[in-house]
Amino acid sequence: MNWVLMPVHNAVELTKRAVQSIQEQDIPVSLFIVDDASTDDTPLYLNKLLGEWSRMDSVIRVRCFNSPIGVSKAWNLGLDYIFKHAAHALVVNNDVLLRPDTYRKLLAEGGQFVTAVGNSVEENWQGSEEIAPGRRPHPDFSCFMIRRTAWTYVGKFDEEMVMYASDADFHVRLHQHGIEAYCINLPFYHYASGTLKTSTPEERDRIQRQADSDRETFFRKYGVSIGSPAYYELFK
């Protein structure tokens, strides 16, 4: 079974578009949505989606939380469930649009942790049907395919980093365990920071404070700041 995991928090119109691009994948997919305490019309949309989801050999599962849990816990919760039923999962943000061949081509690449690469320009972001060969050494956690073997070997996302930095931490741990994580030249559209851009000023301030705290947690763990020269030395 081909599972897609998508955490969401508000930005319901972006979520609708992302779900449609998931439904249009050229292989059968099932969908697990984790609603991280949305306060807009997302719960109403998800309830409607549950009633409309009727694809052959397909399942939809929705978990809703009244209080924020953060993306790291949402990823862990979803992947814990999926890997009891499947050998791989595609994990995406709710502010993305996928080509119909995204899941299939990430699987066909054969790696343990393979991602597409985000494009912030919506016009003609799909590129040509055939993608150019080649890999980029640093993955894009807005659209990644992970296999159960990598998840079992490396372990869960670090929930001490609630909303940010756990992706960088997971990448470091993949490298430490000898598992290559990389992008292939398969584009997806990414309305970057969709949650932040659609938040109220008060919530935006809360998210930014949490982001700062998460980056500090990463620094305490590794002694380097994400994106610094010392950070990239961790991968050599």
Which whole number is the average pLDDT over 25-54? 93
* Rounded Cα–Cα distance for residues 159 and 130 (Å): 38
Rounded average pLDDT over 202-223: 91
Kindly tell me if the per-residue pLDDT of 116 is higher than 60. Answer: yes
Number of domains in the chain: 1
Kindly report whether the global pTM for this prediction surpasses the value 0.85: yes
52 or 194, greater pLDDT: 52
What are the Cα distances from residue 3, in Å, to 33, 48, 62, 123, 205? 11, 20, 13, 28, 33
Task: Give 114's pLDDT tier (boundaries 50, 70, 90).
Answer: very high
Amino acid at 217: T
Question: String of b and e for 87-126 (b: at least 16 CB within 10 Å)?
Answer: ebbbbbbbbbbbbebbbebbbeeebbbbbbbbbeeeeeeb
The reported pLDDT for the residue numbered 185 is 92
pLDDT score recorded for residue 124: 64
Q: What is the CATH classification number for the domain harbouring 16?
A: 3.90.550.10
Higher pLDDT, 207 or 38: 38
118: containing domain: 3-233
Please name which of 57, 62, 131 lies closest in space to residue 101, comparing C-alpha atoms: 131
Mean pLDDT of the chain: 91
